[in-house]
Amino acid sequence: MSGTFQSYLQLMRLKNVLLAAVTVPLGAQFAIGDEWASEQLAEVVLQILAVVFFIGAGNTMNDIKDVAIDREAHPNRPLASGVISLDSANKFVKLLWTLSIICVVAGAYLLTTSQHSAIELIAIYVIAVTLMITYDHTMKKIYKPTPFCWSITKQKFYTTPDAPKSFTDAKPNCVPSSFFRAFSHYK
């Protein structure tokens, strides 16, 4: 795989990955209390890793799908800039998915061998995977944001030739711009 280690961390969006990883011990704390730190530490650590790899795979898949958009909107991202090739990014996604699944399966195995249910863990993972795949392969085809939409959601205003000049000029396929257009007659 081409690119540097730092480029792959950037492709995974390390800040997002770390924020997501924190949710696992928080969820364990809410679900079972302090017991997780002493009795289920290995299971929690495996699920932290599963989330890290899962979020990294999702963000990488997103960049693969959006590489043309990112060349204009985010030219410094590893794929958009060419630091990492599409072929390498696809191999990286497969690696991240494999590692994530291995961590979930290992965590489920540890839960069942210690007389705990793994059904909840597997259900959460299957739902999360379904949502991610649905978003990346279906919703992006149905919902195609305009440059103006990206400017609202990313809180930046990109000046592209087809970008609308005001809220009322925004294209209707962008939910935020459609919302503002619907209420633009109010002062």
Q: What is the dihedral of CA 146, 150, 152, 157, to 10 degrees?
A: -100
Listing DSSP states for 114-151 in one string gives TT---HHHHHHHHHHHHHHHHIIIIIHHH----HHHHH
Q: What gap in Å lies between CA 24 and CA 119, rounded to an integer?
A: 16
For residue 83, the model assigns a pLDDT of 95
For residue 138, the model assigns a pLDDT of 67
Contacts of 150 (CB under 8 A, 6+ apart): 69, 73, 156, 158
CATH assignment of 5-142, given 3.40.50, 1.10.540, 1.10.287, 1.10.357? Answer: 1.10.357
Going from N- to C-terminal start, the domains of the chain cover 5-142, 143-187
For residue 32, the model assigns a pLDDT of 84
Token pair recorded at residue 22? 């924190």
CA dist list (Å): 98 to 46, 131, 169:
13, 18, 45
Q: What is the dihedral of CA 54, 56, 59, 65, to 10 degrees?
A: -90
For residue 137, the model assigns a pLDDT of 66
Q: What gap in Å lies between CA 65 and CA 179, rounded to an integer?
A: 26
Note the pTM of the prediction, 2 decimals: 0.72
Token pair recorded at residue 56? 């990294």
Q: What gap in Å lies between CA 6 and CA 3, rounded to an integer?
A: 8
For residue 180, the model assigns a pLDDT of 40
For residue 153, the model assigns a pLDDT of 43
Q: Which residues of the chain have pLDDT under 50?
A: 146-187
For residue 143, the model assigns a pLDDT of 55
Q: What gap in Å lies between CA 186 and CA 17, rounded to an integer?
A: 40
Quote the DSSP letter at residue 17: H
